[in-house]
Structure 1
């Protein structure tokens, strides 16, 4: 279950970061995706640890 939550968190975070950074250019989209992926990884694990 943890791997599924981490996968969903990283996927969603990376996608949201890409969408937010895309209007500012390719580099901003890549950086936003990396930050979003990291946040999704962190919160996916945190949700798993706290609620399951």
Structure 2
């Protein structure tokens, strides 16, 4: 796979996981915690995918 596809895939998976985790811990599905978690997860997913494709 190309580097761009891997980074995009990492962003999607990270955003999903980061937005879903607060819901598992008791926060609402549409809450500030889910929004912030989704953003943080996306950034973390991009960083991990970037490190793996170096």
Report the equivalent of 1:24.
Answer: 27
- TM norm structure 2: 0.84
* Structure 2: gaps (5+ residues): none
Report the equivalent of 1:9.
Answer: 10
Number of matched pairs = 49
Whose helix proportion is higher, 1 or 2? Answer: 1
Q: Give the aligned CA root-mean-square deviation in angstroms.
A: 0.9
* Structure 1: gaps (5+ residues): none
Residue of 36, 40, 54 corresponding to 1:35: 40
Structure 1 ranges of 4+ moved more than 2 A:
none
